[in-house]
Structure 1
Amino acid sequence: MTESGSGSMRASDADRQAIAQRLRTGLDEGRLSIVEFDERLQRAYASTTFGELQSLVADLPEPVPAKPSPEIVKQDRDKKKMVKEWRDWASVTFILVAIWAVTSIASGEPHFFWPMIPMGIWAAVNVASMISGGSDDKKDEKSHFDH
């Protein structure tokens, strides 16, 4: 819900939906009876200002954001690691190609395109890591036993 300095600011449909969700959570947690939930929900959809909406949930705790599952955290970590690997590969590739271009221009003729060797090997390692999952499962398992 949009923060406002004044409870007299007009509320949007999204604001009313957010309050309705908080009321549903209050019902699910047993903080509101079904009758009280229904009454507050009707008032929420009839509200026109933030002040009216806030009064409906003032006695309910603030919602706590859900903690991501360990699998999602691991997937995010692996994705960030892979993006970093490819970004590093691209940076080094740029430097190697620049060195090749400068030496070719300085000598007046194109040299063998040697950057393809380290670029190709590193790219193959990155692709193999992507295919195999690229996680450090053995390292993760070892760290669990070390604690």
Structure 2
Amino acid sequence: MVDPSDGGMRASDADREQVAQRLRVALDEGRLTVAEYDERLQQAFAATTFGELEPLTRDLPESKPSAELAEREEHRAKMAKEWRDWAGGAVIMIAIWGVTSVVSGDLIAFWPAIPLVIWAAVILATSIEGSGKKKRD
């Protein structure tokens, strides 16, 4: 098996994307100028081996995701799940309303609006509270 530390092993798309991500973080932190970032990014996506990728990040410190960033991503994922659940509930309630309206032969008042608005308000309140909430030690 080829040792990736010797630089001869071929790099995958995931390896190139990982280097591109490190370069994006370095740009955001002000460690690279836009011109340096652009040049290194082009070299990263043109690289075929680890030996070509390694020099692109050699002078950059190891980036570690901050706890705050991880917490924000976790909150965003939770909110996305909450809205998917809401949408699923909306489809079910509207289908029940539609079927009962058809079966009764008359248009029934749109009752799904009440639980859906309340549910959406709860999700919004949770989202606002969660995005500004700080963990206490």
TM-score normalised by structure 2 residue count: 0.57
Q: How does 1:92-131 map to 2 (within 5 A)?
A: 92-131=89-128
Looking at structure 2, the residues matched to 72 and 2 of structure 1 have their Cα atoms a distance apart, in angstroms, of 34
Paired position in structure 1 for 2:59 = 24
User: RMSD of aligned C-alpha atoms?
Assistant: 3.1
Contact in 2 for aligned 1:78/1:135 (Cα 8 Å): no
1:56-101 per-residue CA deviation (whole Å, 9 max, x = no partner) reads xxxxxxxxx6331000010001101111111110000100000000
One-letter amino acid matched to 1:19: E
Report the count of equivalent residues. 96
Partner of 1:4: 10
1:133 Cα deviation from its structure 2 partner = 3.4
% same residue: 38
Assess, with a 3 A threshold, how the Cα gap between structure 1 residues 120 and 92 changes in structure 2: closer, same or farther.
Answer: same
In structure 1, the residue matched to 2:77 is: 80
Q: How far apart, in 2, do the equivalents of 1:107 and 1:129 lie?
A: 38
Q: How does 1:23-62 map to 2 (within 5 A)?
A: 23-24=58-59
Structure 1: which 5+ runs fail to align? 6-11, 29-64
Aligned residue in 2 for 1:48: none
Is the CA contact (8 Å cut-off) linking 1:100 and 1:114 kept in structure 2? yes
Change (3 A) 1:100 1:2: farther
Residue 87 of structure 2 corresponds to 90
**Structure 1 length normalisation: TM-score?**
0.53
Amino acid paired to 2:10:
S
- Where does the alignment leave 5 or more consecutive residues of structure 2 unmatched? 1-6, 12-41
